[in-house]
Structure 1
Amino acid sequence: MNIKTLCITGALLLTGISVYAQKKKEVINDSNTPLHLLQPAYKVPYKALTTSEVKTDLDRILRYLEKTTPTRVVSEKTGKVITDYNNLPADAQLERGAFRLASYEWGVTYSAMLAAAEATGDADYKKYVTDRFNFLAEVAPRFREMLEKNGTTDPQMKQILTPHALDDAGAVCAAMIKAQLQDKSLNLYPLIENYLDFILNKEYRLADGTFARTRPQLNTLWLDDMFMGIPPVAWYSQLAKDNQQKYLAEAIRQIFQFAERMWVPEKKLFRHGWVESMQDHPAFHWGRANGWALLTMTEVLDVMPENHPQRAKLMELFREHVRGLAACQSGEGFWHQLLDRNDSYLETSATAIYVYCMAHGINKGWLDALAYGPVAQLGWHAVSTQINAEGQVEGTCVGTGMAFDPAFYYYRPVNVYAAHGYGPVIWAGAEMINLLNKQHPKMNDSAIQYYSTEQKTTAPIFSVSESK
């Protein structure tokens, strides 16, 4: 190695040492950096939110559902589309899409679409509902004739014509009542009255009149049935031509009779199931069922007069439930499949229902925006991550029975075709748009804070010396 090469090598070595020393000197620490401003490694978005972002997510779901829930009658044998409903062949059926048009899950979806139309001003959401309701109202009499003539008909239509469970009737009925109240040009009364007849006169009940089932044990209460049975009765009080108060009274009575058996005050949560013959009553706090309970109270409060003598009692139960649920939210914004068991998986549909109910409660003045606005917004950010590019909703637990052991709930599958996720996500997004239009959330010292008025100043920046 000659002198020139040696000098160059030495110079490079000294430069490297100098750079290393400089880098070592600039290591981030408490003395030279405001560490509280470092960017956390969030698993879901944690940031400001705009109505346009929410609308974009909702539109993706709408376009997907428009394609996958057709409104046509076809021949089961040939698949040929039938346009003459007055001459239906014996094998006529609703064209099969990805989801059933009259399942209880789709009843939730119709209610959510109506809410989205109002929140966004986009008529396509309402059109989705009215197109399908008009279609069902038009074909139902023809399928009834087929049923009476042949003793059988398309199972999806039979579920509408001869409901055998609250699942068959309640959620779709409530959505039809809302649609009829909004649009007098619709003629959904025959379907509504048929559903209400089953709910009020044919559904199995306990001796005190509480909606019940005979499975998995005789005289079992399912928390799900609060939503499947109570909202349509409450909403019918707005549509009935006579004795409206009796329907609202029945809805309120059902809520408190469910709560008497299923509310767990120390947890501020509901148990999923209650069996009359049990000496002990295990409490498995299934996420979606608690969502149905909270949504039921939300729906009834919406139609309950401000001066109703039982409104304060129902409002307190609603608020207590919100307090219990807020305490269970995970750091990712989701709620768990079993709410109080953090090793159970994070689930989308329950999370979306809670987001809707909390945001709606804030918008109605029932809940404190400062306390629950950030909870709802974090929940929405979580839910939004489950809307894939196609518009499908991921992470939703499939239909679920009742169990008295944890493994059943822990291992229920999730699926993009679990219809339970779509309505809650649309409803949550619609109400978040309303919330963002009423409130003024802002990042303040790296945290989401809710304000009743717009904050013009920037978030405070604390000096390094300030305690954190």
Structure 2
Amino acid sequence: MEMIVQVKKTPFRLKTAPLLAGVLVACMLPLSTMAQEAPPPQEKGPAAKDAMLHALEVTYQNPYRAMDAAQVKAVLDRVFGYLDATTPAEIISKSSGAPIARLDKADPDAVLKPGDFRLTSYEWGVTYAGMLAAGAATGDRRYTDYTIKRHQLLADLTRLYYPGVKADPANAQAPIKSFLNPHALDDAGALCMSFLKAKNAGSTVDYGQMVDICGSFVTEKEYRLKDGTLARGGPDGKGGNKMRPLQDTLWLDDLFMGVPTIALLGKDKGQARYYDDAVRQVLQFSKRMFNPALGIYMHGYVEGMRDHPELHWARANGWAIMAMVEVLEVLPKNHKGYKAVEDQLRAHARGLARFQDKDGLWHQLIDRNDSYLETSASAIYTYAIARAVNRGYLDKEMYGPMANLAWNAVAGKVNPKGEIEGICVGTGMAFDPAFYYYRPVSVRAAHGYGPVLLAGAEIIEMNRRFKFGLNDSGFMYQGQR
């Protein structure tokens, strides 16, 4: 007999006995070409009118496929082009606006040249990490150099200005004073994470002084509850307490703002106490704030209250799952807390999977479908889930399609200029849903740029390692590359 098998529209003929044909085809064809369509009907004669309805063309909101590396990079290149043009790494005179080509002493008139985004915000700590990841995934040195150039500038400014700020924190002037004299995890944690990641990747910038400043703030100076959990609303230094928004308040955001840096310090200093602290933070935040029935976290918690606002803000949940993948990246596998952190990551990923919107994004309040779809959180989930698939924390069969669906939706939010649309602006903690529902969105909200770079980089790595494609019209895992 002659049997014809279609492989990517190229006829592949086998001449063999009928009994062996199916076996040989199954053995000889790669997994990516097997079981792509429903088997043909066995009945003979005219086909019923419903015979091919399953094959009707479907119009999806976003591409229903896996992007290849070149397609993902094209999206990242637009983001890079915009950020490189609008975040200058330059010093100017505050009074004249003229550039300062060489700064060899602490000039109080010197400031960073304004751009669309601040170079020392926690959001830009994430962006520096995203640029490093994009450079590693694409092989395009421009991404890596973006971070190294700005890290070098920050290191130079630290060397010049830190002695004066340390001597007179209240009155000293410095272009990066919020970093040199931090008052909250936002001022130090994410930047410190980016410094340590760059150092681990081989950057030649001298990070010693900067890591001492931000690392000591995160681990020694930030307020904590009695059991050591990072918190807000501690003493104000004047006999009262900072109300953020109440005394002894936990913000889920701080799981990311502090904990990856703590874990990275364990690797940097070779001291287990940092690993122990990082694990303790994950578990103590989760004990207080994770809803096991829903599989997602509340945004805020106030120690001593009997009830807490169960408002499941999307970006805070993003910071939480991102913190866990970053901790697992450096936590020794034989650490006694490793499995507990991995189990918590898996529980959170299962919860997020339940709430993904049909077109790939997640809602501003995750479990409230009438709240708007939000880009930055969706990008963070994409990164964290794809990273977890690549590291084996999550099953590729279950979560690979989910991450690809999310990436395609996030990529659709990058406009031709490289701006990212649909990003919720900075958001505090509230006790009512209206606050979250009505938070504005803006392309100038810095929170989405680093996550998109991280997400694209990790999707490139995932889709290089694993093949995803259509099987009976459904998008799913199809084997190792």
* TM superposition score category, shorter chain reference: 0.7 to 0.9
- 1:166 pairs with one of 185, 193, 207: 185
Name 1:129's counterpart in structure 2: 147
Q: Distance in 1 between matches of 2:395 and 2:218?
A: 35
Paired letter, 2:162 = R
TM-score, normalised to structure 2, is 0.85
1:35-57, CA deviations, whole angstroms, 9 ceiling, x for partnerless residues? 22222232222124211100110
Q: Distance in 2 between matches of 1:192 and 1:139?
A: 14
Q: Distance in 2 between matches of 1:35 and 1:289?
A: 42
Q: Does residue 379 in structure 1 map to residue 397 in structure 2?
A: no
1:412-459, CA deviations, whole angstroms, 9 ceiling, x for partnerless residues? 0110010000000000000000001000111222221112246xxxxx
Please report how far the alpha carbon of residue 33 of structure 1 lies from its aligned counterpart in structure 2 after TM superposition: 6.3
Name 1:460's counterpart in structure 2: none
Name 1:391's counterpart in structure 2: 418
- Report the CA distance shift for 1:235/1:145 in structure 2 as closer, same or farther (over 3 A): closer
1:167-182 to 2 correspondence within 5 Å? 167-182=186-201
1:176-203, CA deviations, whole angstroms, 9 ceiling, x for partnerless residues? 0111122252201100111011111111
- 2:212 pairs with one of 171, 193, 198: 193
Secondary structure (helix, strand or coil) at the match of 1:274 reads strand
Please report how far the alpha carbon of residue 144 of structure 1 lies from its aligned counterpart in structure 2 after TM superposition: 3.0
Instruction: Check the 8 A contact 2:129/2:450 in 1, yes or no.
Output: yes
Name 1:118's counterpart in structure 2: 136
Name 2:258's counterpart in structure 1: 229
Q: Distance in 2 between matches of 1:30 and 1:419?
A: 56
1:317-356 to 2 correspondence within 5 Å? 317-356=344-383
Name 1:78's counterpart in structure 2: 96
Q: Distance in 2 between matches of 1:168 and 1:282?
A: 26
Name 1:249's counterpart in structure 2: 276
- 2:176 pairs with one of 135, 157, 168: 157
Q: Distance in 2 between matches of 1:32 and 1:293?
A: 47
Paired letter, 1:163 = P
- Report the CA distance shift for 1:30/1:107 in structure 2 as closer, same or farther (over 3 A): farther
Q: Distance in 2 between matches of 1:108 and 1:379?
A: 19
Instruction: Check the 8 A contact 1:90/1:146 in 2, yes or no.
Output: no
Q: Does residue 37 in structure 1 map to residue 64 in structure 2?
A: no
Instruction: Check the 8 A contact 2:148/2:203 in 1, yes or no.
Output: no
Number of positions where the alignment pairs a residue of Structure 1 with one of Structure 2: 423
Name 1:60's counterpart in structure 2: 78
Structure 1, gaps ≥5 residues long: 1-28, 455-468
Deviation beyond 6 Å, 4+ runs, structure 1? none
Q: Distance in 1 between matches of 2:48 and 2:251?
A: 54
TM-score, normalised to structure 1, is 0.88
Q: Distance in 2 between matches of 1:211 and 1:355?
A: 26
Instruction: Check the 8 A contact 1:82/1:88 in 2, yes or no.
Output: no
Instruction: Check the 8 A contact 2:295/2:350 in 1, yes or no.
Output: yes
Instruction: Check the 8 A contact 2:379/2:452 in 1, yes or no.
Output: yes
Paired letter, 1:216 = P
- Report the CA distance shift for 1:88/1:79 in structure 2 as closer, same or farther (over 3 A): farther
- 2:158 pairs with one of 140, 158, 169: 140
- 2:391 pairs with one of 364, 377, 387: 364
Paired letter, 1:210 = T
- Report the CA distance shift for 1:30/1:202 in structure 2 as closer, same or farther (over 3 A): farther
Name 1:216's counterpart in structure 2: 245
1:49-72, CA deviations, whole angstroms, 9 ceiling, x for partnerless residues? 211100110111111111111111
Structure 2, gaps ≥5 residues long: 1-46, 234-243
Name 2:304's counterpart in structure 1: 277
Instruction: Check the 8 A contact 1:304/1:311 in 2, yes or no.
Output: yes
Please report how far the alpha carbon of residue 146 of structure 1 lies from its aligned counterpart in structure 2 after TM superposition: 5.3
Q: Distance in 2 between matches of 1:351 and 1:345?
A: 12
Q: Distance in 1 between matches of 2:279 and 2:190?
A: 17
Instruction: Check the 8 A contact 2:132/2:144 in 1, yes or no.
Output: yes
1:373-407, CA deviations, whole angstroms, 9 ceiling, x for partnerless residues? 11000000000000010111111100100011111
Please report how far the alpha carbon of residue 160 of structure 1 lies from its aligned counterpart in structure 2 after TM superposition: 1.2
Please report how far the alpha carbon of residue 145 of structure 1 lies from its aligned counterpart in structure 2 after TM superposition: 5.0
Paired letter, 1:291 = G
Secondary structure (helix, strand or coil) at the match of 2:96 reads coil
Name 2:64's counterpart in structure 1: 46
1:333-353, CA deviations, whole angstroms, 9 ceiling, x for partnerless residues? 000000000000000011011
- Mark the structure with the bigger radius of gyration: 1
Q: Distance in 1 between matches of 2:105 and 2:207?
A: 22
Instruction: Check the 8 A contact 2:252/2:317 in 1, yes or no.
Output: yes
**431-440 or 107-116: which moved more?**
107-116
Please report how far the alpha carbon of residue 226 of structure 1 lies from its aligned counterpart in structure 2 after TM superposition: 0.4
- 1:402 pairs with one of 425, 429, 434: 429
1:242-285, CA deviations, whole angstroms, 9 ceiling, x for partnerless residues? 5x111111111111111111111111111100011322122111
Please report how far the alpha carbon of residue 411 of structure 1 lies from its aligned counterpart in structure 2 after TM superposition: 0.5
Q: Does residue 417 in structure 1 map to residue 444 in structure 2?
A: yes
RMSD: 1.6
Paired letter, 2:478 = Y
Name 1:268's counterpart in structure 2: 295
Q: Distance in 1 between matches of 2:280 and 2:478?
A: 37
Please report how far the alpha carbon of residue 90 of structure 1 lies from its aligned counterpart in structure 2 after TM superposition: 2.5
Paired letter, 2:196 = I
Q: Distance in 1 between matches of 2:207 and 2:272?
A: 22
Instruction: Check the 8 A contact 1:114/1:179 in 2, yes or no.
Output: yes
